[in-house]
Chains A and B, each alone.
Chain A
Amino acid sequence: MDGDVSTETGSRHDRSPLKHNAVSCEKVTKRFGSELILDEVSFELTKGSFTSLLGPSGCGKTTLLRIIAGLEKADSGDLIMGDPSSKNSDAKPSMAVVFQQGSLFPWKSVRRNVAFGLELAGVDRATIAERVDRTLEMVHLTGTAKKFPYQLSGGMQQRVGIARALALDPDILLMDEPFASVDAQTREELHDELLEIWERTRKSVLFVTHSIDEALVLSDEVVVMGARPGRILRRFAIDLPRPRTEESARILPSFAELHHDIRKLLVRTAVDTFNA
């Protein structure tokens, strides 16, 4: 399967040639009962890269993200945080998770939701206030600080969810299908905003999705996974130019090509799995 790995195609003009890993998984295996959810999955999240885990439901993409987030324990395999080869290897990268819709605390105002991580960490009030304001500005939600989640649209709620994670200024952002339940129009707006935020912050992002379009628009790298058992099929380097927008990415011929390749791979795998 290693022969399939094709991250080396093309070069990234805007990054140092020396790539560091933010997180790497080595032969991570996970079972729920007798079902094999992840079968010796190995992959690295490159530092400063936007990487998507793409696959059908049941491929274990969310489970993999949850293992990295510390919400689930792998049965076997290694999880290496940071890059052992880099100089200050003992500094573990910090992580924050953006969850699916409905994860905001309904009893907390937008401000208190965004402040959640900082409050837990015992950051002083003045710093929290300043950080929250700045983060809300980043997701274009200035003015909604005093509102409660139930007073916001689904798209706005997800922006708050992103702000809650960004407020911690984490090294790694883990995003678990954050836009799965917003309408198509809003999703495209959110993609543009996320692209803009990524340009500004250059965080290492791991983004779980089942949408090929979404993965292509956002990512530097798309890791395609197959189901039963969950495994990595192939990795695609996405060399669409940045800075990107939904629009600018979609009109490129290479977008259509990549879309076609990934789709073919997913369909073929689904058929193989069905026949097996």
Chain B
Amino acid sequence: MTKVADDELRTEVVKPASTARTDGRRVRSVTPLKWTVRITAVVVFFIVWQVYASGVSPLLLVPPSAILAAGGHMIASGQLGTDTLLSLEAMVTGFGLALLVSVPLGLIWARYRVVDWVIQPFVMAIFSTPLIALVPLYVLWFGFGFAAKVAIIGSFSFFPLLLNTYQGAVSVDPMYRDVARAFRATDRQTWRHVVLPSCIPYIAAGINISLGHALTGMIIAEFYTNASGLGGLVLNNADTFQTARMFVPIFVVMGLGVLLMSSTRWLKRKIAPWAER
């Protein structure tokens, strides 16, 4: 039972070193040729889309040019900016709270066996539940506003962070523990000098995954609450068949995702350079 539980929990945990390795290599070995090919592929994709969409009903698919124009209008009117900020506010709050609770909890979970015994079944149960099933409950509890969004986003980003932190703290290289013991480190010193630094790459990997989950949570929250923010924009524009305007917030979310992922990866390289090779 415990064995199965452990394996199942581990599926979400990304081994920080291995992901970093491919990332690092990709960045370092990029040649101008590679980028030329890459950019060309993107340009070709949009050209094909533009040409193809010209022959399709604008209700179903609009050309990129129309999306660009709609984006221009939405920026000029201030609507896009307002809604993006509204979304980000909920996301930052929800993700921030998840981070503040999950990392300490993950460490405590790894530190005390009793906590491990208590927490395992709960984490297993909640982790196995599709969190979207809880959304109506959050609405019942917190209403249709900001608090419900924060709760949804927070619970979406919570588990990858928790599991990664725990995994980092329990998979400290035993040799490092030996060194600490041989040098007469106290329990507290061992945590400060050995366990916590060992966790950093794992937590960074957890943040990376969690941000993706937080974005999903953000859109879902906005669909199910008062239809505000970027998710609200998608929903309202789709309901009124303004397909071009619907695509704009989708691209914004996409851009946000790429930006957040690459900046956490950059941050990890900065704070845990040893985990890169």
Contact = CB atoms under 8 A, between A and B. Distances in A.
A273 B198 CA distance: 43
B178 A102 contact: no
Interface in A62-102: 69-71, 96-97, 99-100, 102
Contact of B183 (A102, A108, A120, A150): A120
B147 interface: no
Interface string A118-138: 011100000000000000000
B274 A120 contact: no
Contact of B182 (A71, A108, A119): A71
A146 to B, nearest CB: 13
A103 B176 contact: yes
B85 interface: no
Size bracket of the B interface: 20 to 34
Interface in B252-277: 272-277
Given A120-B184, A120-B185, A120-B189, A103 B179 contact: yes
Interface in B145-188: 173, 175-176, 178-179, 181-186
B197 interface: yes
Contacts, number: 57
Contacts of A117: 183-184
A177 B273 CA distance: 28
19 contacts: A69-B182, A71-B181, A97-B183, A99-B175, A99-B178, A99-B179, A102-B175, A103-B175, A105-B179, A105-B194, A106-B274, A107-B198, A108-B193, A116-B179, A116-B193, A117-B184, A149-B274, A150-B276, A150-B277
Smallest CB-CB A-B distances: 7 pairs: A106-B274, A107-B197, A97-B182, A117-B183, A103-B175, A150-B274, A120-B185
Interface of B: 173, 175-176, 178-179, 181-186, 189, 193-194, 197-198, 200, 272-277
